[in-house]
Structure 1
């Protein structure tokens, strides 16, 4: 039996009709990163609580060796590999069910933050060598994306053999055109990047040394 890589994307939110994360992730259902693994792709609702419930069900069902959650971040210019998930949610807008938590923990009494366990620097270097814009981000925001990222890392914290993390991607070109020209990335390029991310995450132990910090 093949081992599972779990990929998640989000349903549209904020008035959008599509979400580039699910547009890309759904294309990878059944993809094999190597001879031993196969992708299971699921769509998460952009709803506090419900998104984590569906994620946890998938974790129990598939018992994955690698989990990568993907979300839309309009305004980002590159594949953004998130470093830190924080135990804090503060919604500037309501989610798709009308929930708008303000200054609340994701999980009461849990640690302040978790780090991604993906080899972020190795991935960034590889993607750039492939001609794909990539960066390490030190804030996943305080909306449903961070909610899922934090819940994911909290869940796998007791499973050291499971690698997990979160990636933000830019708008699709059609979204950017409608919104007046912010940065965008095609689904085809995102799919290519995600394949590289999965393969490196299975192979790279430990991460490489690369200057990717920020001064602000």
Structure 2
């Protein structure tokens, strides 16, 4: 096993509502083609838009891969930019999923904190990716929308103590192609990994003194 290899898991969502093709999964498949370089083991998963599946699948991904980072990608019909979500929220899940189900408690983790922030500085990722001039606009948000996207993000943040990220993409062709979204994801995740390793270097230095 190559210890220098970092493991990254990236998920996209399956179809829901009028979105028979979910741009998030298309973007993740494009990312898979591009890869994240030789030093990163990339695993991708398509997640069905179902609360109960998310509740079992997300913990199993963390357990199986012990990833450095998990990035969930979702579709927002309202988005016109690629949007980096700063936090996940625990309460307010009233929207029904593909199985016409929503949690009785309307929350992700009973007794969990109301809101969990990612350890990754999304403003910094946004600035760095924007500076690359990929031709894809990137923005930052504090509200992932209280549906499956937000639910998945909170669940992942809770399990990983913040070592997760969530990226919303607009529908295909509004305005970006799947390929452009894949390129943007590649750049975003590279910057996230860079920031994580800088943070770890700092922590390691403190331990040595």
Which TM-score band applies after superposition, normalised by the shorter structure? 0.7 to 0.9
Larger helix fraction of residues: 2
Gaps of 5+ in 2: 200-209
Identify the residue that residue 204 of structure 2 maps to in structure 1.
none
Matched, 1:124 2:126: yes
Q: CA deviation at 1:103?
A: 6.7
Report the TM-score, using the length of structure 2 for normalisation. Answer: 0.84
Contact in 2 for aligned 1:11/1:44 (Cα 8 Å): yes
Provide the secondary structure at the position in 2 that maps to 1:90. coil
For residues 153 and 107 of structure 1, the distance between their equivalents in structure 2, rounded to whole angstroms, comes to 11
Q: Aligned pair in 2 of structure 1 residues 194, 152: CA closer, same or farther (>3 Å)?
A: same
Of 53, 61, 64, the residue aligned with 1:61 is: 64
For residues 128 and 38 of structure 1, the distance between their equivalents in structure 2, rounded to whole angstroms, comes to 25
Gaps of 5+ in 1: 174-182, 207-216
Identify the residue that residue 199 of structure 1 maps to in structure 2.
190
Alignment of 1:140-155 (within 5 A): 140-155=144-159
Identify the residue that residue 167 of structure 2 maps to in structure 1.
167
Report the TM-score, using the length of structure 1 for normalisation. Answer: 0.82
Matched, 1:84 2:75: no
Q: CA RMSD in A?
A: 1.9
Identify the residue that residue 48 of structure 1 maps to in structure 2.
51
Contact in 1 for aligned 2:27/2:182 (Cα 8 Å): yes
For residues 32 and 76 of structure 1, the distance between their equivalents in structure 2, rounded to whole angstroms, comes to 25
Q: Aligned pair in 2 of structure 1 residues 27, 125: CA closer, same or farther (>3 Å)?
A: same
